[in-house]
Structure 1
Amino acid sequence: MTSAPDTRQRGSADLWLDAATEILCEAGVDAVKIMPLANRLGLSRTGFYWHFKDRAALLDTLIARWEARNTGNLVARTEAYAETICEAIFNIFDCWLDENLFDSRMDLAIRNWARTDPGLQTRVDAADDRRRQAIEAMFTHFGYSETEAEVRAMTVIYTQIGHLSMQVQETRWKHVARMPDFVEVFTGQRPSQSDVGRFMARHLND
């Protein structure tokens, strides 16, 4: 009876997923293959099959990770405590600045992949709808009408998708410094100095 490879030989599921995510972001889904992954990790194909049935299972797990991390965390930020709509928008902006909350590169890679995969496009559409509904609910919570909440939520989402698609290059300081103005655009209200101060403290004092 052949013994199972130990952890050092097979790695962990997260290790394989992290490597697959990097390849997906660098070169697209067609480049996410078992042998290139094994070579990158210095592991064997046998280690891969300890965690995943096949390549299709790996890809499905990648999509599930994207849904949980990006959409799940974004929705959670819309539900985080906030005294004002401006503070609530700043909570969402945490996603754009913290890769542990929202992986921007993966979001773009998934969207590019979906252009040639109708099944995935359906899941992307569902994720976008979930994000929009969560942001709409946040706006209506603070007194915006349903129609206005819908338009403002769409503005937030489309702006971020456009920012990703254009692959805008700017310093972290400049990106953060512009965000109070984006809050005003998205909400129609100028954020207070205390709202701005708390947000800046989270992201410029790392």
Structure 2
Amino acid sequence: MSDASAPTPALSSTRTRPHPAGRGKAEDWLDAAYHQLLEAGVDSVRVMTLAKTLALSRTSFYWGFKDREALLDALLARWDTTNTAGLLQQCERYAATVVEAMLNVFDCWLDEALFDSRFELAIRNWAAQNDAVADAVALADTARIAALTQMLVRFGQPAQLANVRARTIYLTQIGYLSMRTRESTEERIGRMAEYVEVFVGEPCQPDDLARFAARHTG
């Protein structure tokens, strides 16, 4: 992806003609690109590298994508539809109290299906060297903070206070990622009640925390 080009949805980067057997599906190439990005950064996401990983010919890549730039566009679109959509979904999820709503958001930090932390960090590292990706990240940050703000406003918090709290919630989590903070699930859950009270101004009751912990422990 060049700095001058805006990210495009994954669907626009794939061809519609039938996929011959033995050439690998577009999703296989995208999965391989995702893992390569996480392991070694965007500069390592190369067609030849992925072809070796998939044990496919380099030319078979072009049955799924127009070029490497299209693959990178699809990779960025996957991040947005995973992490941004996951966070917004949890902000909009039903909750009887603001504490329950906050714990719904905290599901994102412990469930990679809702918010893939390694993917998030890899995209942010990529953004440091690519203006178009940086713009996409900035748009995602704005949308996420807005969703958190609206969630708090729904529970009667003044707009300015809700926005400051939303920023605190979000920037704390991004700080966790940037600092590569290491915590076990048990350690993270053990701090959740206090985080909730700091973030929303209301105490987290033992029953609230128990229901949350049950979703994330065996």
Q: TM-score, normalised by structure 2?
A: 0.89
Counterparts in 2 of 1:23-102, with a 5 A limit? 23-102=36-115
User: Could you tell me how far apart the structure 1 residues matched to 2:208 and 2:26 are?
Assistant: 40
Deviates more, 1:56-65 or 1:114-123: 114-123
Q: Percent identity over the alignment?
A: 51
Cross-structure match for 1:108: 121
User: Could you tell me how far apart the structure 1 residues matched to 2:204 and 2:212 are?
Assistant: 11
Aligned partner letter, 2:208: D
Matched positions, count: 201
User: Could you tell me how far apart the structure 1 residues matched to 2:185 and 2:209 are?
Assistant: 16
Structure 2 residue 172 is the aligned partner of structure 1 residue 159: yes
User: Could you tell me how far apart the structure 2 residues matched to 1:4 and 1:188 are?
Assistant: 55
Deviates more, 1:75-84 or 1:181-190: 181-190
Instruction: Identify the match of residue 163 of structure 2 among 150, 153, 171.
Output: 150
User: Could you tell me how far apart the structure 1 residues matched to 2:19 and 2:79 are?
Assistant: 30
Instruction: Identify the match of residue 193 of structure 1 among 199, 206, 210.
Output: 206
User: Could you tell me how far apart the structure 2 residues matched to 1:10 and 1:191 are?
Assistant: 53
Structure 2 residue 23 is the aligned partner of structure 1 residue 5: no
Please tell me whether the aligned partners of residues 87 and 115 of structure 2 are also in contact (alpha carbons under 8 angstroms). yes
Deviations 1:12-66 (A, max 9, x none): 2222112111111111111100010111111222332111111000000000111
Please tell me whether the aligned partners of residues 180 and 191 of structure 1 are also in contact (alpha carbons under 8 angstroms). yes
RCO higher in 1 or 2 (8 Å CA, sep ≥ 6)?
Answer: 2
Q: 1:26 to 1:145 in 2, by over 3 A?
A: same
Please tell me whether the aligned partners of residues 32 and 53 of structure 2 are also in contact (alpha carbons under 8 angstroms). yes
Q: Which has the higher helix share?
A: 1
User: Could you tell me how far apart the structure 2 residues matched to 1:105 and 1:4 are?
Assistant: 31
Q: 1:4 to 1:24 in 2, by over 3 A?
A: closer
Deviations 1:100-124 (A, max 9, x none): 1111011011111111111111111
1:194 deviates by 2.1
Cross-structure match for 1:128: 141
- For the residue of structure 2 that corresponds to 1:162, the secondary structure is helix
- Cα RMSD after superposing both structures: 1.3
Deviations 1:127-162 (A, max 9, x none): 000000000000000011010001000001100100
Aligned partner letter, 1:5: P
Q: 1:31 to 1:151 in 2, by over 3 A?
A: same
User: Could you tell me how far apart the structure 2 residues matched to 1:97 and 1:163 are?
Assistant: 12
- For the residue of structure 1 that corresponds to 2:157, the secondary structure is coil
Please tell me whether the aligned partners of residues 19 and 25 of structure 2 are also in contact (alpha carbons under 8 angstroms). no
Deviations 1:50-97 (A, max 9, x none): 111110000000001111100011001000010111111111111111
